Chain A
Amino acid sequence: MSQEKKHKVKDIFVEGPIDPAFVGTSIAKHATRMDIGAHEIFLGQVRADPVVGAHHDPPATTVSAIEYTAYREMALERMTVIREEAFTKWPSMTCLHVHHSLGIIPAGQLCFMVFASAPHRIAAREAVAWVVDRIKAELPIFGREVLSDSTHLWKTNL
Chain B
Amino acid sequence: MFKRILIANRGEIARRIIRTCKRLGIETVVVHSDADMDLPFVQEADEAVFIGLAPAYASYLNMDAVLDAAQQTGAEAIHPGYGFLSENPAFASRCTGLGIVFIGPPPAAIVAMGEKVAARNLMKSVGVPVAPGTANPVSTPDEAVAAAEEIGYPVLIKSAAGGGGIGMTIAENADKLRAGLKTAQSRAQRAFGDDSVFIERYLPNSRHIEFQVLFDSYGNGVHLYERECSVQRRYQKVIEETPAPGLGSNNELRQQMAQAALQAAATVGYQNAGTIEFIFAENGEFYFLEMNTRLQVEHPITEMTLGLDLVELQLRIASGEPLPLQQADIQPKGHAIEFRIYAEDPVSFLPQPGPLTLYQPPATSEYVRLDSGFVQGNTITPHYDPLIAKLIVWGETRAAALERSRTALTDFKIEGIKTNLPLHLRLLDNPAFVSGNYNTSLLK
- Report if A and B associate in a common complex: no
**A interface residues, Cβ below 8 angstroms from B:** none
Interface residues of B (CB under 8 A from A): none
